[in-house]
Chains A and B, each alone.
Chain A
Amino acid sequence: MAQFDVRETMRLGLLAGVVAVTVSMVGMVESFNQRDVITRYLTLGQLLLFTAPVVAGFLTVKRAGDRSWRALPNGALAGLFAALPIFALLLLTLAVPTIRQQLVNVSPTLIRILTFDNGQLVGGLLMMAAMGGLGLLGAVVYVVPDRISDPISLAVGWTLLVGLLSEVLLNVLRPLLSREVVRFLFGTRGIQWQTAVIIFLILAIAVFLWRNGGRTYYQRIPRQVLHWLALALAILIVWIPRDFSWLPPSINPLWIKIGLTLIPLILEALLFFSTRSATQPALVKSITDNQLGRARLASRYLIVLLILPAILGVYLTEVVDNIGLFILMGLGLNIVVGFAGLLDLGYVAFFAIGAYVTGILTSTGPLGVAGLSFWVALPIAVAASTVSGLILGIPVLRMRGDYLAIVTLGFGEIIRVLAVSDLLKPYIGGAQGVLQIPKPVLFGFTILQPQHFYYIILAGVFLALFIAGRLRDARLGRQWMAMREDEDVAEAMGIHLVNTKLLAFGIGAAFSGLAGSIFAARLGSIFPHSFALLISINVLSLIIVGGMGSLPGVVVGALVLVGLPELLREFAEYRLLLYGALLIAMMVRRPEGLWPSPVRRRELHAEDDLAMQEPA
């Protein structure tokens, strides 16, 4: 039986408590408290506060590795220790009632949350009891066999996530369900407790069945059946009644629905008959089954992606547009940082150049010089970004790693300061920016709504994904990666460092210029403060969280780091606080990212293995 170290319990408990006090004092608990996860029963603020003792209880028991019931009091003890810092904060507010003059976020509301509305002393004791109980809960999760605790904790996690994103869900489901059903499922904010229970039960049972034999049954289902099921599901989504008010009046939504149904069906039929016939066409022969399967799966996603704006409505589509722009930038920076290993912190400069070039070339206001159409300005903007990427790349060619980061940061700042300054004011408008940028027109139809821009951005993202993917597997991509691993060795292998580096900077900048150009047209006006360093940091964070050098990682990173804060507006103020913490946590715990590229994962694990062997 493992021994418990009380000091370790205390350390973990106090650490959790300090985290809880920290998030309270910076105001996160209070502002997150406005968002209900489960209506009237649980808010995001409480969730944040109460996760700490659960984790402390869990870790305490896990560190000792004791799975018997005797371990449980240690969990409770850790929870109690976690409550101590909070108790101290409450005492401080009693001793110094004017503390709010110094700590602006220690408000009466916060105290009410921390004491369950019971005054500092009674409430503090209540809080201690609650934290102790939650610590115990954390210990229970570890002590109970995985067979039971895994489905439950997974189901709890997903239920809470659904509750958190209930606004999105409500937006999507409202046109489909009757008002009574909506009122039964959703509260004013967050989901009702009935919904939570239903989701929890479904998920828990599903996970339990999956873990206990479900997986083998699933694997026995023929692939063909799954493909057809997926297609049926996608077509079902297409036919659910939707908001098509944004379509140009000359297009009947019905045609779109019919088109999205028939085209994949015809393709499937062609495929079906061509594989049946004895004389296979050359095209089909050259594709392996695996590739074919993946392409068919991807086509199902594509159907849903094409109909997405009609499902999401204006607000959510706008969020998706934002995510798309960040994916574009992320794919570009991923080439520079992820593939070529050049840490560029001034990446926003190219976004700004793309936006400003588009703005000045198309604007009908006093600053516009050419009055070009968006479609002519777009390639010029991309070319301008590429060229500036090359030009800014030249001075930093001979710098390594960290110096490069600082100098590119300097470039980004120089461009921003210049954009605000009086020096360039006659040309780019200084702090007032460029106004009256007309919306793009396509075949006589003005691209105006977020839903319209969605398709432009989607096309851009697909183009960028395609280019980045091809480059990665091409000779150039291999050269970048060789350079990333060791410049000297790469040079000795005959790689021309100058060209390779400059191409990385230029191509990376082109992606960002494309994003900037679309950004300018979408907003209709651009201001220098849209191009702060924070954008560079945002893009860098998303590729690091997603996984450096990984294309799906960029998409995942953008969804998590751009999508979530947009949906949960309370996050806005704490966005950078969380990014900072996330960057550190990722680098220390999971440097390969959420969705790593296979090569990178192997490399990092090889390093781990070596590190494990070293002490032996």
Chain B
Amino acid sequence: MLKQIRDGDWISLVLWLFRAVVILLVLYGTVAKLFFGVGNAYSGRDWANFFISGLSQGSLYALIALGYTLVYGVLFMINFAHGEFFMSGTLTATVFVALPLSASGFLDRTPIIGMMLILITAMSVSMGVALLTERVAYRPLRRAPRLVPLITAIGASFFWQYYFRGLFGSSLIPFPELQVLQGRYTILGVEILKTRAVVIVASLIMLVGLYFFVMRTKTGKAIRAVAEDKDVAALMGIDVDRTIAITFATGAAMAGAAGVLYGLVFRQVVFSMGFVPGIKAFTAAVLGGIGSIPGAALGGLFLGIFEAIGPPLFLEGLGIPGGHQLKDVIAFTMLVLVLIFRPQGIIGERLAEKKA
């Protein structure tokens, strides 16, 4: 660092100062909170609750982040519309499956089959939307300059948001409550909302499943080959277009599933629900090292927990009022910091500047 300053590289200096200030602020807030008791007093159980809610939120981020990571892996592009894949499946499944099933009592009589139906609908609608987007907005532009597919992705994102708003209206739609999932489990003396527990477990199962899909199946091997080098993969007899489409569909299926879990936790869905989780999940993917599946999972969990514990911990410690409003600021600041200082992420499987 000293050498950089001597060389007159003031940009590095400014960036280092920026990082130092942020870290100092976080440390100061934490110390003030923990040792001097600034702000509200929280019990150990409160902290456990923050942690658990962060964990369940984080596992949703992880599921969505997979889509970013997979697509980035094969195409080196940020699929800005991924948040909309998440929204489309959930919204459709809620309106056409979950609400009617819940009204007829089917969902409470056979919750497992009901949830399966909801999940399958959400995942297939998300996949359909993803395949359509890929075909229309991305495939024709595969050889275009890098900014071009990003712009179409932004276009696709807004198109889908307002398309579904047109279909289902702009009001909040309630997601049905399952009787089985009311109440709490007590694990090791900590009470956990049943929905949160289900979300965490379901996400873990899906993450592991996806990992095996990519690592152990032939299709997964094709995806990895295309990610490595499209031209050589084509020479090896892999249908590149089809593999890319499968990649999109896989990511979208995970997003669709995440959407249903989101509905379970937050109990309402709306056309604009995809945007913020989408950006957060992207942050998670970058945090973990974009292109890496375990990275996406780790990044998601880390971001969720950090976001849940941050406001009560260091924002209150700094004496900032209304800390929970600034959750998004924490996530975005983290995104900026990671992209500046460690663009390869925690796992760092791939260099961020590798060009397509």
Contact in complex: B148, A498 (CB < 8 Å) = no
State the Cβ distance, B271 to closest chain A Cβ, in Å.
Answer: 11
Q: B residues within 8 A CB of A49?
A: none
| A401: interface (CB < 8 Å) | yes
A292-347 CB contacts (< 8 Å) to partner B: 341, 343, 345
Chain-B contact segment, one of A99-107, A119-127, A513-521: A99-107
Contact in complex: A407, B335 (CB < 8 Å) = yes
Chain-B contact segment, one of A73-81, A392-400, A434-442: A392-400
Q: B residues within 8 A CB of A588?
A: 136-137, 140-141, 152
* Nearest residue, chain A, Cβ from B9: A498
| B42: interface (CB < 8 Å) | no
Contact in complex: B11, A583 (CB < 8 Å) = no
Q: B residues within 8 A CB of A399?
A: 339-340, 343
Q: Report the separation of the CA atoms of residues A400 and B353 in the bound assembly, to the nearest whole angstrom.
A: 8
| A228: interface (CB < 8 Å) | no
Q: Of A406, A418, A576, A582, which is within 8 A of B279 by CB?
A: A406
Q: A residues within 8 A CB of B15?
A: 394-395
Contact in complex: B168, A102 (CB < 8 Å) = yes
Chain-A contact segment, one of B155-163, B222-230, B232-240: B155-163
State the Cβ distance, A405 to closest chain B Cβ, in Å.
Answer: 6
Q: Of A398, A537, A574, which is within 8 A of B154 by CB?
A: A537
State the Cβ distance, A419 to closest chain B Cβ, in Å.
Answer: 11
* Nearest residue, chain B, Cβ from A591: B148
Q: A residues within 8 A CB of B169?
A: 104-105
Q: B residues within 8 A CB of A583?
A: 151-152, 154-155, 158
Q: Given A26-B166, A417-B329, A580-B155, check contact A407 B336 (CB 8 Å).
A: yes
State the Cβ distance, B324 to closest chain A Cβ, in Å.
Answer: 10
Q: A residues within 8 A CB of B343?
A: 399, 403
| B47: interface (CB < 8 Å) | no
Contact in complex: A581, B329 (CB < 8 Å) = no
Contact in complex: A402, B335 (CB < 8 Å) = no
| A229: interface (CB < 8 Å) | no
| B325: interface (CB < 8 Å) | yes
State the Cβ distance, A242 to closest chain B Cβ, in Å.
Answer: 40
Q: A residues within 8 A CB of B158?
A: 537, 576-577, 579-580, 583
Q: Of A580, A582, A611, which is within 8 A of B160 by CB?
A: A580
State the Cβ distance, A344 to closest chain B Cβ, in Å.
Answer: 11
Q: Report the separation of the CA atoms of residues A202 and B6 in the bound assembly, to the nearest whole angstrom.
A: 75
State the Cβ distance, B121 to closest chain A Cβ, in Å.
Answer: 13
Q: Report the separation of the CA atoms of residues A588 and B133 in the bound assembly, to the nearest whole angstrom.
A: 13
B146-193 CB contacts (< 8 Å) to partner A: 146-152, 154-163, 165-169
Q: B residues within 8 A CB of A27?
A: 166
Q: Of B143, B162, B335, which is within 8 A of A406 by CB?
A: B335
Q: Report the separation of the CA atoms of residues A274 and B143 in the bound assembly, to the nearest whole angstrom.
A: 56
State the Cβ distance, B153 to closest chain A Cβ, in Å.
Answer: 9
Chain-B contact segment, one of A58-66, A209-217, A363-371, A420-428: A420-428
What mask results when residues 335 to 347 of chain B are scored 1 for a CB within 8 Å of chain A, else 0?
1100110010000
| A587: interface (CB < 8 Å) | yes
| B320: interface (CB < 8 Å) | yes
State the Cβ distance, A343 to closest chain B Cβ, in Å.
Answer: 5
State the Cβ distance, A499 to closest chain B Cβ, in Å.
Answer: 11
Contact in complex: B279, A409 (CB < 8 Å) = yes
What mask results when residues 10 to 29 of chain A are scored 1 for a CB within 8 Å of chain B, else 0?
00000000000010011110
Contact in complex: A414, B332 (CB < 8 Å) = yes
Q: Report the separation of the CA atoms of residues A399 and B332 in the bound assembly, to the nearest whole angstrom.
A: 16
Q: B residues within 8 A CB of A26?
A: 162-163, 165-167
Q: Of B77, B167, B335, which is within 8 A of A410 by CB?
A: B335
| A413: interface (CB < 8 Å) | yes
Q: Report the separation of the CA atoms of residues A391 and B228 in the bound assembly, to the nearest whole angstrom.
A: 37
What mask results when residues 459 to 493 of chain A are scored 1 for a CB within 8 Å of chain B, else 0?
00000000000000000000000000000000000
Q: B residues within 8 A CB of A574?
A: 162, 166
Q: A residues within 8 A CB of B353?
A: 400
| B328: interface (CB < 8 Å) | yes
Q: Report the separation of the CA atoms of residues A157 and B87 in the bound assembly, to the nearest whole angstrom.
A: 38
| B14: interface (CB < 8 Å) | yes
Q: Which of A25, A537, A581 is the most central at the interface, judged by chain B CB atoms within 10 Å of its CB?
A: A581
* Nearest residue, chain A, Cβ from B143: A611
Contact in complex: B144, A577 (CB < 8 Å) = no
| A540: interface (CB < 8 Å) | yes
Q: B residues within 8 A CB of A394?
A: 11, 14-15
* Nearest residue, chain A, Cβ from B158: A580
Contact in complex: A579, B155 (CB < 8 Å) = yes
Q: Report the separation of the CA atoms of residues A104 and B271 in the bound assembly, to the nearest whole angstrom.
A: 13
Contact in complex: B146, A402 (CB < 8 Å) = yes
Contact in complex: A102, B11 (CB < 8 Å) = no
Q: Report the separation of the CA atoms of residues A28 and B159 in the bound assembly, to the nearest whole angstrom.
A: 14
Q: Given A417-B326, A423-B321, check contact A587 B155 (CB 8 Å).
A: yes
Q: Report the separation of the CA atoms of residues A365 and B329 in the bound assembly, to the nearest whole angstrom.
A: 29
| B262: interface (CB < 8 Å) | no
Q: B residues within 8 A CB of A376?
A: none
| A258: interface (CB < 8 Å) | no
Contact in complex: A414, B154 (CB < 8 Å) = no
Contact in complex: A587, B336 (CB < 8 Å) = no
Q: Given A405-B150, A414-B329, A588-B141, check contact A395 B321 (CB 8 Å).
A: no
Q: Given A413-B332, A422-B321, A584-B156, check contact A103 B168 (CB 8 Å).
A: yes
| A594: interface (CB < 8 Å) | no
Q: B residues within 8 A CB of A418?
A: 326, 329
Contact in complex: B150, A102 (CB < 8 Å) = no
Contact in complex: A591, B144 (CB < 8 Å) = yes
Contact in complex: A104, B168 (CB < 8 Å) = yes
| B210: interface (CB < 8 Å) | no
Q: Report the separation of the CA atoms of residues A329 and B321 in the bound assembly, to the nearest whole angstrom.
A: 34
Q: Which of B155, B157, B167 is the most central at the interface, judged by chain A CB atoms within 10 Å of its CB?
A: B155
Q: Given A576-B162, A584-B155, check contact A417 B328 (CB 8 Å).
A: yes
| A544: interface (CB < 8 Å) | yes
Contact in complex: A580, B157 (CB < 8 Å) = yes
Q: Report the separation of the CA atoms of residues A531 and B185 in the bound assembly, to the nearest whole angstrom.
A: 43
Contact in complex: A423, B335 (CB < 8 Å) = no
* Nearest residue, chain A, Cβ from B136: A584
Q: Report the separation of the CA atoms of residues A406 and B279 in the bound assembly, to the nearest whole angstrom.
A: 8
Q: Which of A411, A576, A611 is the most central at the interface, judged by chain B CB atoms within 10 Å of its CB?
A: A576
| B245: interface (CB < 8 Å) | no
| B248: interface (CB < 8 Å) | no
| B352: interface (CB < 8 Å) | yes
Q: A residues within 8 A CB of B156?
A: 580, 584
Q: Report the separation of the CA atoms of residues A200 and B136 in the bound assembly, to the nearest whole angstrom.
A: 36
Q: B residues within 8 A CB of A406?
A: 78, 279, 282, 335, 339
Q: Which of B322, B328, B332 is the most central at the interface, judged by chain A CB atoms within 10 Å of its CB?
A: B332
Q: Report the separation of the CA atoms of residues A401 and B145 in the bound assembly, to the nearest whole angstrom.
A: 10
State the Cβ distance, B169 to closest chain A Cβ, in Å.
Answer: 4
Contact in complex: A401, B155 (CB < 8 Å) = no
Contact in complex: B14, A577 (CB < 8 Å) = no
* Nearest residue, chain A, Cβ from B315: A423
Q: Report the separation of the CA atoms of residues A540 and B80 in the bound assembly, to the nearest whole angstrom.
A: 15
Contact in complex: B326, A421 (CB < 8 Å) = yes
State the Cβ distance, A82 to closest chain B Cβ, in Å.
Answer: 19
| B106: interface (CB < 8 Å) | no
Q: Report the separation of the CA atoms of residues A397 and B9 in the bound assembly, to the nearest whole angstrom.
A: 13
Contact in complex: A420, B325 (CB < 8 Å) = yes
A565-603 CB contacts (< 8 Å) to partner B: 573-574, 576-577, 579-584, 587-588, 591
| B212: interface (CB < 8 Å) | no
Q: Report the separation of the CA atoms of residues A337 and B161 in the bound assembly, to the nearest whole angstrom.
A: 25
Q: Report the separation of the CA atoms of residues A409 and B160 in the bound assembly, to the nearest whole angstrom.
A: 19
What would 5 A/B residue contacts be, using CB atoms closer than 8 Å? A102-B95, A102-B168, A104-B167, A406-B282, A583-B158
10 extra interchain contacts, Cβ-Cβ under 8 A, other than A417-B325, A591-B144?
A: A402-B146, A406-B339, A407-B336, A407-B339, A418-B326, A540-B151, A574-B166, A580-B161, A583-B151, A587-B137
